[in-house]
Structure 1
Amino acid sequence: MTDSKSKLLIIGVTGNLGFELANASLNASHPTLGLVRDSAFSDPNKLHKIQLLSDSGLKIVKGSLHDEESLIEALKQADVVICAVASKQVHDQKALISAMKRAGCIKRFIPSEFGSDPDRTRVSHLDHNFYSRKSEIRRLVESQGIPYTYVCCNFYTSYLLPSLVQPGLQAPPRDNVTIFGDGNVRGVFMKESDVAAFTISTVDDPRTLNKTMSLRPPGNTLSMNELVTVWESKIGKKLERNYISEEELLKRIQETPYPDNMQLVFIYSAFVKGDQTYYDIDSSNGVEGTQLYPHIKYKTDVFLPLIHTCAMSLL
């Protein structure tokens, strides 16, 4: 590793994760650019984020993934590209890959994944190509010879956890709780700001070049039974646990229209199939971020304060 910091171009800085990535990059003293569409400036929430980031030192570059010339102009100012577009825009990265190939100056690309490893999930018959689109982008990156790092953080703490993995609820239950499968399969939750800190740490690290960085810290890896036990300890009350079999969950997925059934698909993938934890991380093509960067103080007790906050709101 050299002492000089790579120049980063982040796409999607007005989104939740993109905003955290930009902050983490600036905090790590990387010269940082954000590609921002013209339409973002007319959205009050996005404009507020743009102003905050600009005040912190982010250089705003106007452009979009659909305008190759503006894209190449932005790319020529960067060494590393991080894309944090929404999952529905994953295929838009094809134009970005083409532009990176044409620009010829990008030393590393981190595509928009930031969830379960798309090459490891086993729900392709249910997910309406959610993961296969991400795998398709991986194969395109590799075929074009673009240096990469893939980041698989599994679930964000803002997703599923506030309801204790109860579809349709906004807060944890206080009497009855539904547990999918046997309740012993573990999923992984990471705070978005922590995901951003680990991601930024990879950009100049040769150990993560052309590898997948997974985030799977033991303290953030819990089963549904374990999550419920934590919640019970907070409210001082035992909940009635209603177990839903794999067959029943699959039936619910099939009977619920798309896209409303996707939350059930993600629950099935993580807490029944075990897609976030069933495999060992192969050192030949993968690393575990919390082991690689032990100096990063991530929120390992994030479940307790989050669930405690939910509990207090209901007292």
Structure 2
Amino acid sequence: MAKSKILIIGATGRLGYHLTKASLEFSHPTFALVRESAFSDPNKAQKIQSLSDSGATILKGSLQDEASLVEAVRQVDVVICAVSAKQILDQKLLIQVIKQAGSIKRFIPSEFGSDPDKVRISVLDAGYNFYKHKVEIRRLVEAEGIPYTCISCNFFMSLLIPSLVQPGLKVPPRDKVTIFGDGNTKAVFVKESDVAAFTINAVDDPRTSCKVLYLRPPGNVYSINELVDLWETKIGKKLQKSYVSEEELLKNIKETTFPDNFEKLFIYSAFVLGDQTYFDIDPRSGVEGTELYPDVKYTTISEVLDTLV
């Protein structure tokens, strides 16, 4: 079967770049929609050149420019959006263009985190709208009858693992560590390049059509207590532990302004409430990526911590 032609929106972003590279590596004809301003940004311009050299077709445009969206969408079979959380609602015009085109076989909206339909932490949406806007876009896609796959990859490996879930730190602690809640609730981490590999595997797979692709790789589902135990084994040393209760953590979050509290917001959601792991995957609406694609080689938390010893 011929490989679908894929359009990546947000290709100069951290995840978007990996998605574009993965699309090329999987031999898909690949298009990247890039803002005009990106060409004058040295870092983004370098990424654009790298993608172009690798075989991507670079298109100029944006989510606000309907003409550029129409031109880009008509050239492809699959559209993947990987814009930042601040731009989530900007996908509305894109959805309208996809609906009018009527030729897109799969749309992957910009979710790439915890499943917004499963998150129970209302404090996260108190002025931040991390999940409210994602839910709004998902409902719109469903209402328009557009074939979709949503990617629930939970945390990127780069978010909390380098600090061993210690807000404000850049590297894992060597002497003392803070445990949030009882430390037994599990969260999920996936490296951005691995998220991209699973996503590209899903674009032509009928098993992922109109479903959520959850990523819960064995070896990447850990509680804080388990992370600390693993780190202690690697450095050959026990850490002094202190505990912050759910009530204390929530009080601290509410007393701190965004974005200074964002790490604690996500810690509360995942490691206290268990928003990433409290539910079983319903086969009627979701599938698990490592079960569908056992040949995808992914990086484990243990391997990442090995680089930090």
What's the TM-score bracket when you normalise by the shorter of the two chains?
over 0.9
- For 1:5, the equivalent position in structure 2 comes to 3
- Which ranges in structure 1 are unaligned for 5 or more consecutive residues? none
Whichever residue aligns with residue 286 of structure 2, its letter is: G
The structure 2 residue matched to 1:26, chosen from 6, 10, 24, is: 24
C-alpha contact 2:219 2:302 (8 A) present in aligned 1 = no
**C-alpha distance in structure 2 between counterparts of 1:304 and 1:284, whole Å:** 33
Summarize deviations over 1:262-290 as a string: whole Å, max 9, x none. 21111000000001100000001100000
Summarize deviations over 1:40-85 as a string: whole Å, max 9, x none. 0001110111111111100001111111011100000011000000
Alignment of 1:282-297 (within 5 A): 282-297=282-297
- Identical-residue share of aligned pairs (%): 66
1:94 is aligned to 2:112: no
- For 1:15, the equivalent position in structure 2 comes to 13
Q: CA shift at 1:234, angstroms?
A: 1.5
- For 2:308, the equivalent position in structure 1 comes to 310
Secondary structure of 1:187's counterpart equals strand
**C-alpha distance in structure 2 between counterparts of 1:115 and 1:260, whole Å:** 20
Secondary structure of 1:298's counterpart equals coil
**C-alpha distance in structure 2 between counterparts of 1:259 and 1:162, whole Å:** 19
**C-alpha distance in structure 2 between counterparts of 1:249 and 1:273, whole Å:** 12
Whichever residue aligns with residue 270 of structure 1, its letter is: A
Q: CA shift at 1:298, angstroms?
A: 1.3
1:74 is aligned to 2:72: yes
Summarize deviations over 1:235-279 as a string: whole Å, max 9, x none. 111001111110000011011112222211110000000011000
- For 2:202, the equivalent position in structure 1 comes to 202
- Which ranges in structure 2 are unaligned for 5 or more consecutive residues? none
Whichever residue aligns with residue 197 of structure 2, its letter is: A
**C-alpha distance in structure 1 between counterparts of 2:46 and 2:134, whole Å:** 30
Secondary structure of 1:212's counterpart equals strand
C-alpha contact 2:124 2:130 (8 A) present in aligned 1 = no
**C-alpha distance in structure 1 between counterparts of 2:40 and 2:275, whole Å:** 40
**C-alpha distance in structure 2 between counterparts of 1:228 and 1:305, whole Å:** 15
Secondary structure of 1:218's counterpart equals coil
The structure 1 residue matched to 2:54, chosen from 37, 48, 56, is: 56
Whichever residue aligns with residue 169 of structure 1, its letter is: L
C-alpha contact 2:115 2:152 (8 A) present in aligned 1 = yes
Secondary structure of 2:159's counterpart equals coil
C-alpha contact 1:124 1:132 (8 A) present in aligned 2 = no
C-alpha contact 2:9 2:80 (8 A) present in aligned 1 = yes
Whichever residue aligns with residue 24 of structure 1, its letter is: A
Return the TM-score normalized by structure 1. 0.96
- RMSD over aligned CA atoms reads 0.9
- For 1:142, the equivalent position in structure 2 comes to 142
Whichever residue aligns with residue 27 of structure 2, its letter is: S
Alignment of 1:1-315 (within 5 A): 3-127=1-125, 128-299=128-299, 302-311=300-309
C-alpha contact 1:178 1:241 (8 A) present in aligned 2 = yes
Whichever residue aligns with residue 212 of structure 1, its letter is: V
**C-alpha distance in structure 1 between counterparts of 2:150 and 2:122, whole Å:** 20
**C-alpha distance in structure 1 between counterparts of 2:228 and 2:266, whole Å:** 18
**C-alpha distance in structure 1 between counterparts of 2:146 and 2:306, whole Å:** 45
C-alpha contact 1:117 1:276 (8 A) present in aligned 2 = yes
Secondary structure of 1:279's counterpart equals coil
